[in-house]
A and B are shown apart, each in its own frame.
Chain A
Amino acid sequence: MEDKTYIGGIASGIKSLATGLKTTMREFFTPKITEQYPENRQTNQMFERFRGSLTMPHNEANEHKCIGCGLCQMACPNGSIKVSSEMYETEDGKKKKRLVKYEYDLGSCMFCQLCTNACPHGAIAFDQSYENAVFNRAKLVKQLNREGSKVAEKK
């Protein structure tokens, strides 16, 4: 505290108290941030950066961006991700890798986001879903690539 005179101290004290009172009075009239959860589950929107569960976005043609490189699997500290891939030969005789099955265990995921950061193609992302409770933990193991989906061709 810097040295203040008796009267100066009172004046500055009253000024700062008035600032506090003004702030709380403004807060009194602002819309409240409380979400009443079970009632508003139809309309409740989680914020954009919320990490609900891992997903692999697919486009309308049922194509995803995953090339099956397995970097996410290596980046995952908990071993929640299992990428199965196979080698195949294209029409012009080149050997290429493609994704067969992308398994993700929500039950052991700690939402650190290292997998999405490791992905070179932005193939996986966290969504905003949060009602993830199930009765059987086997249900938490999800296959992220859809049936019959294939990797999107580079343009």
Chain B
Amino acid sequence: MFNFTTITNWLHSFLTTTCGFAEWGAILTESVLVALVIITLYAVFAIALIYMERKVCAFFQCRLGPMRVGKWGLLQVFSDVFKMLTKEIISMRQTDQFLHNLAPFLVVMASMITFACLPWNQGAHIIDFNVGVFFFLAISSIGVVGILLAGWSSNNKFSLIGAMRSGAQIISYELSIGLTMLAMICLTGTMSFSEICNDQYVNGWNIVRGHVPAVIAFIIYLVAGNAECNRGPFDLPECESELTAGYHTEYSGMHFGYYYLAEYLNLFICAGMASTIFLGGWAPLQIAGLDGFNAVMAFIPGAVWFVGKAFFVVFLLMWLRWTFPRLRIDQILSLEWKYLIPFTMVNLVLMALCVAMGWTF
């Protein structure tokens, strides 16, 4: 298995010895490089996901989707991005200008930091420490502040209703996400993403090891993750037929673009987390006993495995989104509080029991 630390070690020694940087200078340079890489990846993944969303949505509705701009409409999203970049950012009277301009940056910042938590390859973890899962949950909640601020500062009733719905929904569903993650932490015994992945590389994917409780947790995670991204059947913060566009109605130009980017990247982060925690992250598919097969699978780089799994989960989430009709706010909250929470709690106990009795693979 290719270990990314060889590259990072080489870069560090190159900066310190060949270029003669001081230790702090080398670390600073590396941080800037990593930030650039992350921002570039963020934009690239957003473009790929928007294209995928439009195509998958079209195929589920028996359409073809974008076909005109470029071959199979491949350049459609690029032209959309350029359109967004050239648009004016309109500032309105009677709004709280400071908060109005701050809100999209909070949302995009939260999603970028959580994006950096994803384990891309063995040794290619950007933010990784012993309470990684905890940190991830904490940072992803900042996004909700941005959404609430956006609704509040727009001075628009519909935006405020959208923001309130979004707040109520995200805060409720964070409980399910936290509890399902807790069940999986119970199985792996660590909160660090790199160790979760390493553990799955050695012992097999969590969804196989944890069998029944892990599969239940995976399904609940998908439902709650969809709600967390304000997507799918849970997209009533945006709810175009009732609230025009919800909390980002009053935004234009790239400020709106940030919400759009963050929405799609949150989808990817949600899927990436699902693949890290349940499907092994960068760990290749290994079947005990088939050594030749295992060698071939291990030859594929971990980053390919990770992105492949994440896109598989993204497809599952899109499938959910384009199948189910939108829920009412009371239905959303009763689904969470009356169904998902009791199920995750029982599931947590079941997982703890399985781990304690050694009923795992």
Contacts and interface: CB of A to CB of B under 8 A. Distances in A.
B322 A32 contact: no
Contacts of A24: 60, 319, 322-323
A27 interface: yes
Interface string B249-273: 0000000000000000000000000
A24 to B, nearest CB: 4
Nearest to A14: B219
A20 B62 contact: no
Interface string A12-28: 00000100110111011
B319 A30 contact: no
Nearest to A33: B62
A34 interface: yes
B18 to A, nearest CB: 53
B39 to A, nearest CB: 33
Nearest to B68: A36
A152 interface: no
A46 interface: no
Please classify how large the interface on chain A is, using the bins under 10, 10 to 19, 20 to 34, 35 or more: 10 to 19
A28 B63 contact: no
B64 A20 contact: no
Given A10-B339, A25-B319, A20 B324 contact: yes
B63 A33 contact: yes
Interface string B34-78: 000000000000000000000000111111100100000000000
A80 B30 CA distance: 78
Contacts of A36: 64, 67
B125 to A, nearest CB: 34
A4 B52 CA distance: 39
A10 B323 CA distance: 18
Nearest to A30: B62
A21 B319 contact: yes
A33 B319 CA distance: 20
B334 to A, nearest CB: 11
A24 B62 CA distance: 9
B339 A27 contact: no
B61 A27 contact: yes
Interface in A15-61: 17, 20-21, 23-25, 27-28, 30, 32-34, 36
A21 B323 contact: yes
Contacts of B319: 21, 24-25
A115 B172 CA distance: 63
12 contacts: A10-B339, A20-B323, A24-B60, A24-B322, A27-B59, A28-B60, A32-B63, A33-B62, A33-B63, A34-B62, A34-B63, A34-B67
Interface of A: 10, 17, 20-21, 23-25, 27-28, 30, 32-34, 36
Interface of B: 58-64, 67, 319-320, 322-324, 339
Given A24-B322, A28-B60, A32-B64, 15 more contacts: A20-B324, A21-B319, A21-B323, A24-B60, A25-B319, A27-B60, A27-B61, A27-B62, A28-B59, A30-B62, A32-B58, A32-B59, A32-B63, A33-B63, A34-B64
